Amino acid sequence: MNVELEVTSVTNLINEFVIYGNCLVRNKRLSIRIKQQLIFKKPCEAEVWHFRCEVGSTLVNYRQQFKATEAKLTFRAFSDINSELDLYERAFKQFQLPSLTQKLFYKHPEFRGIGCGKARIEKAIRKIGSARKFLIALKNENLPALIDAFDSFDRAFTFLNAYKNIRAEFESIEFIEQSGYDRRTALRLIKLFGRTTKEQIIKNPYSPIRLGSQFANAWGVAEQLRKRNIVDVAEDSPKRLIGAVDSIVYRMLKHNHTAIPEEQFKTRLANLVGKKLVEKTIEIAVSNIALCKTYNGHYQGTGLAHLESFAEKSLANKINTKRSTDFNNSIQRYISEFNEYFFKMKGFNLTQEQKSLAYKALTNNFSLAQGAGGTGKSTAMGCVKYVCNRLNRPVYFVAVAGIAKKRVNDELRKMCILRSNPVGLLGNVEEEECSYTVRGFINQVKLTLKNPKVKNPILIERDPLIVFDESSMLDLSLVVEFLKLMDNCSKSYSISMIGDIAQIAPVGIGIVWQTMITLGANKPDLIAYSELKSVHRQEIDNPIRQIADLIRTVGHNDASSWEEDIHHFANSPYKYLKPLTKTYDGDNGVFYQTASNSTVIGLAYDWANQLGIENTQVITPYSSHDNSFSTEAVNEYFIEKLRISQSLEKNSTLQDFAKGDHIMVTKNNSILDLYNGDMGKIEDIVYEQAEKGADIKKKLICHFSDAGKTVSMDETNAFEVGLKHSYGITIHKTQGSEFKYTIVIIPATESTTFIENSMIYTALTRSQTATIFIGDMSTLSRAINSNPAYKNIITGFNLDYYFEK
């Protein structure tokens, strides 16, 4: 069904627009609901849009509402007006504008606030002679005629500019639709370039490639535009050749590679520009500072090279700068003091490995540490905090995910080593703030620089120690942003990076910590390096820990060093897991159930329901909405099933959310103090009025247990934080989290690289009681026997080479 709508107003929803207006064919008021990913821009008042809608409608506020699957901006106000002008002229109404054109001039935001209201436009039309002549002057951009009509250069110029903006926007959208870009790329281009999109693409069709890996298919479109002679670009033009280099760099970057081996690079380049132009392309790219070579002959985009070079220099400077040894004896004494304190509290001592980790973190400007779960990394961090308290030295614990940050803070609280700060004049106290997400810490440093008296300032002038937890999640861009900020604002600070090398690699570009861990293990004299290997006695008999250690060994140790049981496990991993039966009632362990791709999500729901959805988290390797096993697919299935069992009252939902739904924040929002990864539950849906006379809004009352807060949010807030259901989340999103039961979806797949060793290890170690793998056991076995993701990432970052120089 097709609907042509003259827009009167638009409402923003979560990832959707509701567009109100008049149907030009049926002459009825109605509304259209469409996902934002399906439309190039937010419609404006008085614009005319053509929608393709699903058959059938719903009644919303006594008005028909249709769901659209496609949307196209039309130029009806100017392109289809001759018959209406003819009609007016025959009726001696030659000064009358066509109705759609008139509404556009009077109501469109582009024409507002420019001093050209209804009366001035009517006066200008009368002076120029007719509405037709006025519109012809606009179309031909006849500024002198318009100046005479408006009797003002400023008004004529501004009015013409507004018209040109609207026309350019329409032409850009029309051009981009016809160019052949995929929908996502087209939307991103319009969002970036706006009404200048057509102009930018015509000037250089290869320019979008430089905007990042999201525009990887821009090369193919640019080539088609060139071959169809829509753009004038020679085969050996620097625009084209540099575009080819950028295309290769960003296609590799999409898979987290920051460098490309020489032969692979030249082969890919030959496929794009031909063998004859390979050397010329490299020469031009290097001379234009678009390409460079790494220490080992790999090719690399210069932007990436700059980031990695900065990180190398900054970290090398930290490593080379030695700390004063004046407090070393005191540090040793305080570590022993904490050991005694910890023994009284827990009944056992710190291991020598934990003491060594703490000592190195406290006596070096840069240190590294790694260890599997259960080896006491949190206890070692507690020791660091205790000693810093005794030395009156500020220490901050940071993690990529909000959940990981909270877990660190909870562990410090359990050890009773968080200090209290006085508040007000009545003797009240509050717990110190020393745990942050990396993004939260960066923001707090910036706030401190703006206002040193801000609440919980970062004490950057007092030689702070920053301890990174879950460091395997740190990508190159985040490390560089942190280092740049701290190097600029603090004369002296120290870094300690702690994590588990077997955990999943960063989602973002490049790897830093993993590369340094390898260097630290091989050259401990170069970097202060610690490794925790001793498993706490309470973890030794944990079946999850036992299987995790086997997976870790297969992924990280050379097969020649494996013992016999490791070989057996690698050959048939599922034999070491317990088969899941109908009688399972929540016992400890690692379980599996073979399932076809068509039944895997249904079985995951059934088991989550049986074990208790409150206690169970379903996780999947996939996030892409077009994958049948993505988080979106899992959540849609759960919601459909849960809604059947719920008896929801009228108006008891807000968009797709209802009371009791499990939710997750996917976008950082400092105003609401919510961050990507915060998980919670909708406790209620209420109507609230901010102040007398204000609109009454429907709001979600969301409790985020991990963040320790309850937040009220309306539709706009929910959109701003990217609120989504969290019955199913990706394995990446679980890092730093723990759940009583974890159900891991393992679909049958032909890919031999996506689901890999570290992904299975991370998924397995999220559970407190039991992990259940549901799906294809061949895929599980293949993943366990594959390389961890970070080993497959090609990087130019090399601290060792920097020291060798």
Instruction: Tell me the pLDDT tens digit for each residue of 65-101.
Output: 999 999 999 988 898 889 999 999 999 999 999 999 9
Nearest-CA neighbor of 496 among 524, 473, 529, 526? Answer: 529
Nearest-CA neighbor of 210 among 184, 243, 187? Answer: 243
> pLDDT value at position 746?
96
Residue 466 to residues 383, 385, 388, 438, 632, Cα–Cα distance (Å):
14, 11, 11, 10, 36
Asked if 591 and 579 count as a contact pair (C-beta separation under 8 A), the reply is yes
> pLDDT value at position 20?
95
Q: Average pLDDT for residues 232-248, to the nearest whole number?
A: 95
Given a cut of 60, whether residue 43 has pLDDT beyond it is yes
Which tokens hold the place of 427? Answer: 């003797």
CA 802, CA 291: separation in Å to the nearest integer?
Answer: 20
How many CB atoms sit inside 10 A of residue 764's CB? 23
* SS3 of residue 302 by DSSP: helix
Confidence class of residue 674 from pLDDT cuts 50, 70 and 90?
confident
Nearest-CA neighbor of 738 among 615, 639, 623, 652? Answer: 615
Given a cut of 80, whether residue 281 has pLDDT beyond it is yes
Q: pLDDT digits over 422-448, tens only?
A: 766 666 778 899 999 898 899 999 999
Q: What angle do CA 256, 257, 262 make, to 5 degrees?
A: 165
Confidence class of residue 626 from pLDDT cuts 50, 70 and 90?
confident
Which tokens hold the place of 19? Answer: 């567009």
| Range of weakest confidence among 250-264, 268-282, 367-381, 690-704 | 690-704
Given a cut of 80, whether residue 345 has pLDDT beyond it is yes
Please state the φ and ψ torsions of residue 507, each to the nearest 5 degrees: -75, -35
Q: pLDDT digits over 178-203, tens only?
A: 888 887 788 888 888 888 999 999 99
Given a cut of 80, whether residue 688 has pLDDT beyond it is no
> pLDDT value at position 574?
86
Taking each helix axis from N to C end, the angle separating 153-179 and 143-150, rounded to the nearest 10 degrees, works out to 140
Which residue(s) pair with 779 in the sheet? Answer: none
Which tokens hold the place of 105? Answer: 């001039």
CA 231, CA 225: separation in Å to the nearest integer?
Answer: 6
Q: Average pLDDT for residues 780-791, to the nearest whole number?
A: 93
> pLDDT value at position 466?
98
**What's the chain's length in residues?**
805
Which amino acid appears at position 521 of this protein?
A
Asked if 655 and 699 count as a contact pair (C-beta separation under 8 A), the reply is no
Q: What angle do CA 721, 723, 726 make, to 5 degrees?
A: 140
CA 773, CA 473: separation in Å to the nearest integer?
Answer: 24
Given a cut of 90, whether residue 488 has pLDDT beyond it is yes
> pLDDT value at position 427?
64
CA 411, CA 421: separation in Å to the nearest integer?
Answer: 19
User: Which position has the token pair 């670009």?
Assistant: 233
| Average pLDDT value for the chain | 90
Radius of gyration of the chain (CA): 31
Given a cut of 70, whether residue 216 has pLDDT beyond it is no
| Range of weakest confidence among 547-551, 626-630, 782-786 | 626-630
Which residue(s) pair with 681 in the sheet? Answer: 662, 703
Nearest-CA neighbor of 634 among 775, 526, 534? Answer: 775
Extended beta strands in 659-746, E state: 662-664, 679-689, 696-704, 709-713, 724-725, 728-730, 739-746
CA 136, CA 144: separation in Å to the nearest integer?
Answer: 13
> pLDDT value at position 143?
95
| Range of weakest confidence among 131-135, 191-195, 467-471, 725-729 | 191-195
Asked if 379 and 551 count as a contact pair (C-beta separation under 8 A), the reply is no
Edge-first strand listing for the sheet containing 589-594: 578-579, 589-594, 767-775, 739-746, 616-620, 728-730
User: Which position has the token pair 């073979």?
Assistant: 594
Selection from 107-111, 464-468, 619-623 with the highest mean pLDDT? 464-468
Asked if 372 and 365 count as a contact pair (C-beta separation under 8 A), the reply is no
Nearest-CA neighbor of 75 among 98, 52, 93? Answer: 98
Given a cut of 80, whether residue 109 has pLDDT beyond it is yes
Burial class (CB in 10 A: 0-12, 13-18, 19+), 471: buried
> pLDDT value at position 271?
96
| Residues 6 or more apart in contact with residue 603 via CB below 8 angstroms | 593, 595, 774
Residue 628 DSSP code: T
Confidence class of residue 213 from pLDDT cuts 50, 70 and 90?
low
> pLDDT value at position 650?
53
Confidence class of residue 695 from pLDDT cuts 50, 70 and 90?
low
CA 457, CA 292: separation in Å to the nearest integer?
Answer: 41
Which residue(s) pair with 260 in the sheet? Answer: 299
Alpha carbon 324 to chain centroid, angstroms = 41
Asked if 713 and 12 count as a contact pair (C-beta separation under 8 A), the reply is no
Percentage of the residues of the chain whose pLDDT score is greater than 90: 68
User: Which position has the token pair 């002296």?
Assistant: 492
Q: Average pLDDT for residues 463-469, to the nearest whole number?
A: 97
Burial class (CB in 10 A: 0-12, 13-18, 19+), 572: exposed
Domains of the chain: 2-74 (2.40.50), 78-172 (no CATH), 204-299 (no CATH), 324-535 (3.40.50.300), 541-621+731-805 (3.40.50.300), 648-726 (2.40.10.170)
Q: DSSP string covering 237-250, please?
A: -HHHHHHHHHHHHH
CA 403, CA 508: separation in Å to the nearest integer?
Answer: 18
> pLDDT value at position 121?
95
Please state the φ and ψ torsions of residue 453, each to the nearest 5 degrees: -95, 10
Nearest-CA neighbor of 554 among 760, 298, 337? Answer: 760
Alpha carbon 593 to chain centroid, angstroms = 32
Given a cut of 90, whether residue 645 has pLDDT beyond it is no
> pLDDT value at position 59?
84
Q: Average pLDDT for residues 236-244, to the nearest whole number?
A: 95
Asked if 593 and 581 count as a contact pair (C-beta separation under 8 A), the reply is no
> pLDDT value at position 424?
65
